[in-house]
Amino acid sequence: MTIMLDGTSLTRLQVCAIAREGEDVSLSAAALVRVKRAADFLAAKVAGGEPVYGITTGFGSNADKLLGAHRVRDELPGGNPEHKQGSLLEELQNNLLITHAVCVGEPLSIEVVRAMLAIRINTLLRGHSGIRVSTLEALTALLNKDVIPVIPGKGSVGASGDLAPLSHLAIVLLGRGEAFHKGERISGNEALGRIGIEPVRLSLKEGLALNNGTAQMLATAVLALDRTEKLLATADLAAAMSLDAFAGRSGALREEVHALRPHPGQVETARNIRQLLDGSNLIDIPYHLVPRFRTWNAASWSDPHDQQRRFDIGWDYVPLAQRHGREAFYQRFLPFKGGKKHQPQDAYCLRCMPQVHGAVRDAWMQACRVIDVELNAVTDNPLVFPDAENPSHIEDQVISAGHFHGMPLALAMSYLKAAIPVLASISERRLNKLVDPANNDGLPAFLIGNEDGTDSGFMIVQYTAAALVNDLATRAHPASVYSIPTSANAEDHVSMGTNEARHVLDMTEDLGHVLALELYTAAQALEYRQDMLNAARALAERGDWKAVAAKISCAPREDRAEWTVFEQDVRSLMDALCKADGFHAGSAVQNAHARIRKHIDFMRRDRAMDGDVQKICQLVASDALLGNAQ
């Protein structure tokens, strides 16, 4: 597929396709007409001798320096012959790029640079930058012929745009710098030779057009938003699997509840989790049906087949003497205490998932709104208006403004940057609750049978998640609040939006790891919960009420009058267990659990877990668990 760029209709989805899937681009013929008109206009104005910022003047704090007709040292003997090639106007644009390409650090990923190229081409097609059609076509050829400039990752302050990284991008057109071609790192000159392009000699304002804009921060933000969208879906899936594993309550997810506080992200999260849980008979299960884990021992099960189980189960019995004043409760629920506490609400990490996930989703949606505007905006300086009506001065048609300033993007990314640790934090809290026997509603400690006392189970998985959450939290400080002036204070307020966007994209990786660890843990917990409930159901189906009674503590003595009542209560418990058509999670949760189990087995006893962790992180990174779970 070839994506046509026209300066007005580029989408985040298209940028991701160009960046990640290697799609080619074409240039709108109508847009190229606009491009040519602006370039011709500038050429005519300069030929008429009118001074124009960045074309016949210096840049930034040098804006008060007017270019002369020739170099002041041309008349001296021994001058550099290279300096006599081309005009001062060309040299100004050339020097702008070669002196601004000073970034440091590891190169940006191929994905980010491809996105930068597409975004820069698109904004130049608006026809307000003064670049020539030939130069724009050469830039497009880099993208389509897989010449990807090498851009060290750090060096932009986000105003005047991404000057330094965009200079690294553009100097390849001059035959300078370095580029990746077909995966090989080579000189810019060699890269141009391989694709049959001569080095470009820059004309009026072309240096400014190429390096003055928000392309790096915008490209990084687009990719970060795309990843965050997938992670929001993953977070909802992890939350649903954990809620099923807890046999939790659905009341806090109900539509009429969220109609009373209709934040869009909150409403959408509640709807999505309800859908993920659809078909579950673990959610809202009566408290008395849920047994608690007991450590297996040789006397746990009388049937030889049951001896293969990795657990024992049990309940406590509430005798008649302890039900006084609670008669109404025990008319609804049977007098057994198992894994679930008799309370109508879950912990915040379960009950408040719509509010927390939803607030993060709202932050993401706000960032999407800003980025969607920026994708088809003109972000260089000065702006060229060749068709302005009744201009009295050149300043009416070549206007110095501040569209290069990245603050709209920076603040949007700051908002999302603060939200990412929040989503990771609530995920870690669910994970911690799953492994904590004091809070996991009857599941085994650290989700392992540990009958021999040798197993740690999932204990340290929570440590890793905690370390990642702490790291994310310490990285969440907004870069946008700390401006450091540049260009001798001519550029005295900058956005730092490029750092902000880079941080967010980097942070999505660790967010994915935290969510992966929750899914890894929740899959183990869910299997325990289902197996324990179905073991209780299978025992009840045999019809031997005394076998079920053997799993119940605090039973009355046989010679007491309560024994008959106890038998009736046990038989009622058996009937309720048998009525369930097998205990299982929601359909989407079951599907995700099955996908996990294709790669990672249930852990019966301690084993090396590093391979499991690597696999679950890969599954989350590839979005393989989402499928119909989105």
For residue 629, what pLDDT is reported?
47
Amino acid at 180: F
Catalytic residue among 41, 53, 458, 520: 53
* 84: pLDDT strictly greater than 50: no
Confidence class of residue 304 from pLDDT cuts 50, 70 and 90? confident
For residue 559, what pLDDT is reported?
64
Q: Determine whether 404 is an active site residue.
A: yes
pLDDT digit string, tens, across residues 397-454 = 888 888 999 999 999 999 999 999 999 999 999 999 999 999 999 999 999 999 999 9
* 68: pLDDT strictly greater than 80: no
For residue 10, what pLDDT is reported?
98
Q: Determine whether 428 is an active site residue.
A: no
For residue 342, what pLDDT is reported?
84
Which of 343-346's residues contact partners 24+ apart within 8 Å by CB, and which partners?
Answer: 344/249, 344/251, 345/249, 345/251, 345/252, 346/243, 346/246, 346/248, 346/249, 346/252
* Mean pLDDT calculated for residue range 200-225: 94
Q: Determine whether 415 is an active site residue.
A: no
Measure the CA–CA gap between 393 and 398, rounded to whole angstroms. Answer: 9
For residue 388, what pLDDT is reported?
82
**Considering just the CA atoms, what is the radius of gyration of the chain in Å?**
33
For residue 72, what pLDDT is reported?
62
* Mean pLDDT calculated for residue range 33-47: 91
For residue 33, what pLDDT is reported?
97
* Mean pLDDT calculated for residue range 69-75: 61
* 79: pLDDT strictly greater than 60: no
Catalytic residue among 23, 41, 94, 100: 100
> Range(s) for CATH 1.20.200.10 in the chain?
225-287+329-365+412-629
Of 207, 93, 220, 61, the closest CA to residue 154 belongs to 220
Measure the CA–CA gap between 192 and 279, rounded to whole angstroms. Answer: 59
Instruction: Tell me the residue length of the chain.
Output: 630
Q: In this structure, which topology does domain 225-287+329-365+412-629 adopt according to CATH?
A: Fumarase C; Chain A, domain 2 (1.20.200)
* Mean pLDDT calculated for residue range 358-384: 96
Q: Span 2-71+84-213: which CATH code?
A: 1.10.275.10
Q: Determine whether 491 is an active site residue.
A: yes
For residue 172, what pLDDT is reported?
98
* Mean pLDDT calculated for residue range 488-504: 89
* Mean pLDDT calculated for residue range 164-168: 96
Measure the CA–CA gap between 368 and 362, rounded to whole angstroms. Answer: 10
Instruction: Please answer whether residues 340 and 243 qualify as being in contact, where contact means their C-beta atoms are separated by less than 8 angstroms.
Output: no
Who has greater pLDDT, 139 or 60?
139
* 558: pLDDT strictly greater than 80: no
Q: Determine whether 482 is an active site residue.
A: no
Predicted structure pTM score:
0.93
Question: Which helix or strand (DSSP H or E) is residue 279 part of?
Answer: none
* Mean pLDDT calculated for residue range 342-370: 95
Q: Determine whether 274 is an active site residue.
A: no
- Can you read off the two tokens belonging to residue 2? 């070839």
Measure the CA–CA gap between 478 and 500, rounded to whole angstroms. Answer: 7
Among 54-68, 234-248, 526-540, where is mean pLDDT lowest?
54-68
Question: Which helix or strand (DSSP H or E) is residue 51 part of?
Answer: none
> Range(s) for CATH 1.10.275.10 in the chain?
2-71+84-213
* Mean pLDDT calculated for residue range 477-496: 86
Catalytic residue among 206, 491, 500, 527: 491
Q: Determine whether 53 is an active site residue.
A: yes
DSSP 504-567: HHHHHHHHHHHHHHHHHHHHHHHHHHHHHHHHHHHHHHT--HHHHHTTEESPPPTTSTHHHHHH
pLDDT digit string, tens, across residues 608-622 = 999 999 999 999 999
* 151: pLDDT strictly greater than 50: yes
Catalytic residue among 212, 432, 499, 591: 212
